[in-house]
């Protein structure tokens, strides 16, 4: 397959027409049109429907565009990396990250990274959902306790853990053996009736009785500091409050949480991705996530 012709097709398809593709590339519309027609002849299939002012991809064209976008970016990155001698991080770095991590840490981290690598432009998309790095054109993703995925590789850069915490004014009830102890709780909307919060390796169990439901962990933290009730909160966002005795710990809940920086295994690791992974790992020398 003629990769130059495929690149021409990608250019026209991405811009939605010959005019915009011509302006973006500096090549004439006639040249692009001829090259695409020759490409269609070589493949023996029509990729676009040419009409009045608009250009529409055929079903075959849509399929080819979707399945070759990623590989073409890989080739472009490989060529760019070779030209740069695999040393200079630069270009656009698109990062997917959980909302809480973005709110409490990623702004500062992105600024620090830019000081080290000023030729990298960072775009962060903050959402609490599992993003598809290939389909959504992300270079890296920050994930919490990621499941094993053969298409992704990465490194754990920090750990966190859940702490059952409350203001000092909230009295710790006497736990009864074999029966969860009811406590006033501030919970997320995902709370389900009948949940049990266990601490100290399951030795003590509490039955949360919701008094507030809030959709943000930062809001829950603030409500708990104000004495509204008890909550399960990441140690990273309450460490300062624990140190100042604005909150007290009732115990550690569950296992450690791992934070990973992930990227696609099939994608050639570009200088910008390699630099960002190394940067993230070096930000937490103690191994614990803290803000």
Q: Which residue has the tokens 């298409």?
A: 151
> Which residue, of 57, 83, 109, is where some domain finishes?
83
Do 167 and 246 have their domain in common?
A: yes
Lowest-pLDDT choice from 14-23, 36-45, 75-84: 75-84
**Does 278 have pLDDT greater than 90?**
yes
Give CA–CA dist 188/291, Å, rounded: 21
Q: What is the pLDDT of residues 207-233, one digit of tens each?
A: 999 999 999 999 999 999 999 999 999
Which range marks the domain in which residue 33 is found?
A: 3-83
Do 115 and 53 have their domain in common?
A: no
The total number of structural domains in the chain stands at: 3
Q: Which CATH number belongs to the domain containing residue 175 in this structure?
A: 3.40.190.10
pLDDT tier, 175 (very low <50, low <70, confident <90, very high otherwise): confident
**Does 151 have pLDDT greater than 80?**
no
Give CA–CA dist 221/214, Å, rounded: 10
**In this structure, is residue 150 part of a structural domain?**
yes
Do the beta carbons of residue 262 and residue 145 sit within 8 Å? no
Greatest alpha-carbon pair distance for the chain in Å reads: 82
* pLDDT above 70 as % of the chain: 91
Q: What is the pLDDT of residue 261?
A: 96
pLDDT tier, 12 (very low <50, low <70, confident <90, very high otherwise): confident
Q: What is the pLDDT of residue 116?
A: 96
Q: What is the pLDDT of residue 16?
A: 82
> Which residue, of 58, 83, 108, is where some domain finishes?
83
Do the beta carbons of residue 114 and residue 123 sit within 8 Å? no
Q: Helix, strand, or coil here: 251?
A: strand
**In this structure, is residue 175 part of a structural domain?**
yes
**In this structure, is residue 288 part of a structural domain?**
no
Do 50 and 19 have their domain in common?
A: yes
Angle at 278 between CA 275 and CA 281, to 5 degrees: 150
Q: What is the pLDDT of residue 40?
A: 87
> Which residue, of 83, 112, 142, is where some domain finishes?
83
Instruction: Record the pTM.
Output: 0.67
Q: Helix, strand, or coil here: 19?
A: helix
Q: Which CATH number belongs to the domain containing residue 55 in this structure?
A: 1.10.10.10
**In this structure, is residue 47 part of a structural domain?**
yes
Higher pLDDT among residues 48 and 71, named by residue:
48
* pLDDT above 90 as % of the chain: 52
Q: If you average pLDDT over every residue of the chain, what do you get?
A: 88
**Does 267 have pLDDT greater than 60?**
no
């Amino acid at each position: 397959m003629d990769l130059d012709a495929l690149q021409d097709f990608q250019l026209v398809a991405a811009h939605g027409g010959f005019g915009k593709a011509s302006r973006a590339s500096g090549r004439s519309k006639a040249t692009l049109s001829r090259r695409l027609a020759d490409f269609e002849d070589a493949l023996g299939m029509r990729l676009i429907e040419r009409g009045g002012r608009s250009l529409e991809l055929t079903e075959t064209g849509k399929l080819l565009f979707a399945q070759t976008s990623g590989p073409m970016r890989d080739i472009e990155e490989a060529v760019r990396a070779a030209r740069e001698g695999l040393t200079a991080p630069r270009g656009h770095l698109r990062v997917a990250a959980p909302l809480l991590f973005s709110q409490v840490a990623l702004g500062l981290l992105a600024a620090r990274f830019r000081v080290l690598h000023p030729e990298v432009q960072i775009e962060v998309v903050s959402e609490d959902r599992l993003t598809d790095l290939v389909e959504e054109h992300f270079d890296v993703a920050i994930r919490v306790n990621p499941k094993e995925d053969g298409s992704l590789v990465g490194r754990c850069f920090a750990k966190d853990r859940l702490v059952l915490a409350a203001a000092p004014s909230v009295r710790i009830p006497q736990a009864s053996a074999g029966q969860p102890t009811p406590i006033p709780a501030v919970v997320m909307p995902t709370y389900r009736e009948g949940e049990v919060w266990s601490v100290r390796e399951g030795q003590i169990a509490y039955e949360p009785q919701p008094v507030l439901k809030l959709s943000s962990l930062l809001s829950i933290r603030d409500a708990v500091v104000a004495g509204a009730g008890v909550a399960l909160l990441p140690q990273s966002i309450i460490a300062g409050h624990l140190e100042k005795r604005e909150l007290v710990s009732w115990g550690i809940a569950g296992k450690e949480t791992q934070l990973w920086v992930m990227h696609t295994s099939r994608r050639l690791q570009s200088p910008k991705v390699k630099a960002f992974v190394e940067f993230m790992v070096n930000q937490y020398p103690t191994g614990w996530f803290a803000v």
